[in-house]
Amino acid sequence: MADAGKEITIYDIAQKLNLSAATVSRGLKDHPGINKNTKKKILATAEKMGYRFNSFASNLRKKNSNIIGVIVPRLNSNFMSDVIAGIEKVVNKAGYTLFISQSFESMQHEITNAKAMFNNRVDGILVSLAYDTTNISHFEQFTRRNIPVVFFDRVIEHEKYPAICIDNYKAANTLVSHLIEQGCNRIVHISGDQRRNVYADRTRGYQQALKDNQLPFEDELLIVNDLSQAAAIQAAKKILKMRPLPDAVFAASDFCAINCMLEIKKAGLKIPGDIAFAGFNNDQMACVVEPQLTTIDYKGFEMGEFAARMIINHLVNPGELQNTHSLVLRSELIIRESSLKAGVK
Amino acid sequence: MADAGKEITIYDIAQKLNLSAATVSRGLKDHPGINKNTKKKILATAEKMGYRFNSFASNLRKKNSNIIGVIVPRLNSNFMSDVIAGIEKVVNKAGYTLFISQSFESMQHEITNAKAMFNNRVDGILVSLAYDTTNISHFEQFTRRNIPVVFFDRVIEHEKYPAICIDNYKAANTLVSHLIEQGCNRIVHISGDQRRNVYADRTRGYQQALKDNQLPFEDELLIVNDLSQAAAIQAAKKILKMRPLPDAVFAASDFCAINCMLEIKKAGLKIPGDIAFAGFNNDQMACVVEPQLTTIDYKGFEMGEFAARMIINHLVNPGELQNTHSLVLRSELIIRESSLKAGVK
DNA sequence: AAATTCTTTGCAATCGATTGCAAAACAAAT
DNA sequence: ATTTGTTTTGCAATCGATTGCAAAGAATTT
């Protein structure tokens, strides 16, 4: 039955029970040296008096915040929401809370967010890089103070920072091989900024699959843009003008694949009959378009869990900063109508 | 050039400049009483020594955290990501940071999250309620301590808590009127838990539109479920068995509308020819399905901004807790193919 | 009964920024 | 030179939890 009047502190509890604040503090923390009955009394009194723990005082004294920062490009996908959920699960169990922020795909924002996290003294930070992040010097302030930084999904090669991602090269390779199996031999790839691992690796996987099957790669077949809706439509127009006409399009994101596909459908082409399509990420949308989109699925929740575990590990055993350096998660090819040339007429 | 060795405090800066910590503190905060040159020197030295503000000490002393808590059902929609962006914009400008968490549509989670926010001493809290939240006593701890609580979108009627939302009644009414104009007169409505304002109000709007047009409402026409994919498909099956067959379906979410529509398409019916469709929220998906979905659009970013401003107002002028009690934002009917019976054959 | 061990508890300093009040420094006016 | 007024700065207490160390108390052994 607390009232707004005054915050109750451990001193108030101590006074009421004729104990010292030290004992109350330990009692609340379930310290082994405190008598069971005393603990019980402390807990009961704290509850009755409406005590609430003051993390500021605690953090000040202990010099850590029990907060993990998370910077992501955007929160608006199922994938990201799953990642966050996975992180939350692990992190909460370890007694930490999250401080989430969006970079909106801009390095400027990312830098600002990193600064804010730094000033808020997060104990560790999880990052999926923005679309246009070219260097990562804004994370040096963390490593300099031994605050662990872990990248996930949109990662960057750097010996200092562990990274969690899927094998984008292999996934793309598998996907493109599937398209080739379906009889496609002139496959366009639409990708994003090649400085981002996820896009560069997918491009490599695509090219390797062509090579493995003795298909020629031509520069014209690779379209690099920002994967936005506008870009997808523009790409579609470009594709429609290509001669000979490509017989498949593999876009590095479902969103882009879908928008491109719709534009091409609008031009009267049959999918997958004339052109097969495939995307990446298994977005909810992929099941909603017609035809349903072949794509690569990987589990955001799992990725979040692993990333969080890695951070927590670093915090628990501060010594072994590089025990597990990087981690590659499983991904899976999901075949749907948009690429099934064989099956459909 | 800070190194990991030691945290620099205002005392260190004070010592180096032969000043008192008080002056340094004021200098860093741009206090009017401090000489301009002194300020400049303080700032420069702080920068050079690698000082970082210790918010724990500050919070402890000032008894506020400058943190605003946000609890939302899920982060996985464009809508929510926009809301968060709007909130962030306003809140950051006012010197606050965000503490975001997801309830995953569960009241249990919501309660836990509220507790965590409370213990982390947020200065205010913004909430969009979970699907199954029946009572809101878990927010009383905040009001009891004069911590402002503002609801948005999924709100609840309560004189203590201001709320920001659109006029769901009017929006649904407009939408259903549009369907009727298109010649529909047997309109099914699929909605969510009627204890949630957004769903109850949309249902009322739907029913009123029928009444306004002298159309009979039958219980059979209202399907209440959890709006999930499975529920949408089940609803579709139910609709297909109705005699006479309905000529329109209005679902309280785009996701549900789309899944239901796809199932009905699969059964061979023409949309909108046989059955017209409409959803709610203008999700990205709505433009991706075929036919594109008629829906109601409202601006998440704006809603976030307003909600944040309301909280910040309460924090700045703690007196007038109920100056603006609630706020209704604009929404707009977006007409697309799925409801255009007139236009399409 | 004395000595030893194990349990419990308390003392007091510490973390770093803030702020009311007072004092010092300086400039301007008499 | 003295008084008055204006800028600048400093003193010192405060916020509340933590923890190394020591001491008191209880239980056990000789």
Nearest to B144 among A2, A141, A284 (CB): A2
Taking the C-alpha atoms of residue B198 and residue B133, their distance in angstroms, rounded to an integer, is 13
SS3 B213: coil
A25/D19 CA-to-C1' distance in Å:
10
Taking the C-alpha atoms of residue A297 and residue A331, their distance in angstroms, rounded to an integer, is 6
| Residue B281 banded pLDDT, cuts 50, 70, 90 | very high
Q: What is the pLDDT of residue A158?
A: 83
Q: In this structure, are residues B218 and B185 in contact, taking their beta carbons and an 8 Å threshold?
A: no
Taking the C-alpha atoms of residue A97 and residue A67, their distance in angstroms, rounded to an integer, is 5
A35/C5 CA-to-C1' distance in Å:
18
B118 interfacial to chain A (CB closer than 8 Å): yes
A61/D23 CA-to-C1' distance in Å:
25
Instruction: State which residue of chain B sits closest to A300, comparing Cα positions.
Output: B76
Taking the C-alpha atoms of residue A35 and residue B317, their distance in angstroms, rounded to an integer, is 47
Contacts of B256 in chain A (CB under 8 A): none
| The pLDDT of residue A121 is above 70 | yes
Taking the C-alpha atoms of residue B119 and residue A52, their distance in angstroms, rounded to an integer, is 6
A108 interfacial to chain B (CB closer than 8 Å): no
Helices (H) and strands (E) in chain A, counts: 12, 12
Greater confidence (B157 vs B179) lies with B179
Beta carbons of B121 and A56 less than 8 Å apart: yes
The single residue listed with the structure tokens 């603990």 is: A39
B115/D12 CA-to-C1' distance in Å:
37
Nearest to B81 among A3, A53, A76 (CB): A76
Interface of A with B in 32-71 (CB under 8 A): 52-57, 59-60, 63, 65
DSSP single-letter state for residue B29: T
B288 interfacial to chain A (CB closer than 8 Å): yes
For residue B277, the cross-strand partners are B249
Taking the C-alpha atoms of residue A262 and residue A229, their distance in angstroms, rounded to an integer, is 11
Q: Is the CB of A65 under 7 A from strand C?
A: no
Q: Is the CB of A164 under 7 A from strand C?
A: no
Contacts of A78 in chain B (CB under 8 A): 76
* Cis amide bond preceding B244, omega within 30: yes
Q: Is the CB of A2 under 7 A from strand D?
A: no
Question: What is the average per-residue pLDDT within A187-200?
Answer: 94
* Cis amide bond preceding B291, omega within 30: yes
Domains of chain B are: 10-53 (1.10.260.40), 65-165+300-329 (3.40.50.2300), 168-298+333-339 (3.40.50.2300)
Q: Which residues of B217-245 are buried (b: 16+ CB within 10 A; e: fewer)?
A: eeeebebbbebebebbbebbeebbeeeee
Region of B72 on the Ramachandran plot (φ > 0 left; ψ -120 to 50 alpha; else beta): beta
B85 interfacial to chain A (CB closer than 8 Å): yes
Question: What is the average per-residue pLDDT within A241-248?
Answer: 93
A14/D26 CA-to-C1' distance in Å:
22
Q: In this structure, are residues B306 and B144 in contact, taking their beta carbons and an 8 Å threshold?
A: no
| The pLDDT of residue B2 is above 50 | no
Q: Is the CB of A22 under 7 A from strand D?
A: yes
Q: In this structure, are residues A196 and A131 in contact, taking their beta carbons and an 8 Å threshold?
A: yes
A70/C13 CA-to-C1' distance in Å:
36
Smallest CA-to-CA distance from B250 within B292, B216, B294 is with: B294
CA angle B175, B178, B180 (to 5 degrees): 115
pLDDT tens for residues A25-80? 999 999 888 999 999 999 999 999 999 999 999 999 999 999 999 999 998 888 99
In A142-294, where do the E strands start and end?
Answer: 149-152, 163-166, 187-191, 222-224, 248-251, 276-278
Instruction: State which residue of chain A sits closest to B66, comparing Cα positions.
Output: A120
Smallest CA-to-CA distance from B73 within A85, A308, A98 is with: A85
pLDDT tens for residues B23-74? 999 999 988 889 999 999 999 999 999 999 999 999 999 999 999 999 999 9
Q: What is the pLDDT of residue B144?
A: 87
Nearest nucleotide over every DNA/RNA strand to the A25 CA, judged by C1': D17
Tokens of A319: 């010594």
CA distance B144 to chain A (A): 6
Q: What is the pLDDT of residue A341?
A: 81
Question: Strand C positions with any atom < 7 Å from protein CB?
Answer: 7-12, 14-20
Q: What is the pLDDT of residue A152?
A: 96
Region of A173 on the Ramachandran plot (φ > 0 left; ψ -120 to 50 alpha; else beta): alpha
Beta carbons of B56 and A60 less than 8 Å apart: yes
pLDDT tens for residues A308-324? 999 998 888 766 555 56
Q: Is the CB of B294 under 7 A from strand D?
A: no
Question: What is the average per-residue pLDDT within B145-155?
Answer: 93
Nearest nucleotide over every DNA/RNA strand to the B14 CA, judged by C1': D10
DSSP single-letter state for residue A182: T
Beta carbons of B88 and A99 less than 8 Å apart: no
Residue A132, C-beta contacts closer than 8 angstroms, at least 6 positions apart: A105, A106, A107, A193
User: What H or E segment, with its residue span, contains residue B191?
Assistant: strand B187-191
B176 interfacial to chain A (CB closer than 8 Å): no
Beta carbons of A52 and B255 less than 8 Å apart: no
Greater confidence (B308 vs A318) lies with B308
Taking the C-alpha atoms of residue A79 and residue A73, their distance in angstroms, rounded to an integer, is 12
Tokens of B103: 């309830």
The single residue listed with the structure tokens 């990248």 is: A151
* Cis amide bond preceding A318, omega within 30: no
Q: Which residues of B147-168 are buried (b: 16+ CB within 10 A; e: fewer)?
A: bbbbbbbbbbeeeebbbbbbbb
B27/C26 CA-to-C1' distance in Å:
20
State the best of B72, B76, B142 to mutate against chain A, taking most chain A CBs within 10 Å. B76
Beta carbons of A82 and B76 less than 8 Å apart: yes
Question: What is the average per-residue pLDDT within A132-152?
Answer: 91
CA–CA distances in Å: residue A199 to residues A195, A205, A223, A231: 8, 10, 12, 16
A20 interfacial to chain B (CB closer than 8 Å): no
| The pLDDT of residue A344 is above 50 | no
Question: Strand D positions with any atom < 7 Å from protein CB?
Answer: 7-12, 14-20
Q: Report chain A's mean pLDDT, rounded to a whole number.
A: 91
What phi and psi, each to the nearest 5 degrees, are found at residue B266?
A: -60, -30
User: What H or E segment, with its residue span, contains residue A115?
Assistant: helix A107-119
| Residue B4 banded pLDDT, cuts 50, 70, 90 | very low
Pairing of the two strands A248-251 and A187-191:
parallel
B147 interfacial to chain A (CB closer than 8 Å): no
Nearest nucleotide over every DNA/RNA strand to the B26 CA, judged by C1': C18
Q: Is the CB of B57 under 7 A from strand D?
A: yes
Q: Which amino acid is it at A261?
A: M
Handedness of CA A99, A100, A105, A106 (dihedral sign): negative
Burial (CB < 10 A; 0-12, 13-18, 19+), residue A146, is exposed
Give me the DSSP letters along B275-325: SEEE-SS--GGGGTSSSPPBEEE--HHHHHHHHHHHHHHHHHSSS-TTSS-
Q: What is the pLDDT of residue A140?
A: 92
Beta carbons of B99 and A99 less than 8 Å apart: yes
> To the nearest whole percent, how much of chain B has pLDDT over 70?
96
Q: Is the CB of A54 under 7 A from strand C?
A: no
Nearest to B55 among A81, A121, A262 (CB): A121
Question: What is the average per-residue pLDDT within B176-193?
Answer: 95
| Residue A146 banded pLDDT, cuts 50, 70, 90 | confident
Q: What is the pLDDT of residue B322?
A: 55
Q: In this structure, are residues A222 and A192 in contact, taking their beta carbons and an 8 Å threshold?
A: no
Q: What is the pLDDT of residue A13?
A: 94
A275/D2 CA-to-C1' distance in Å:
98
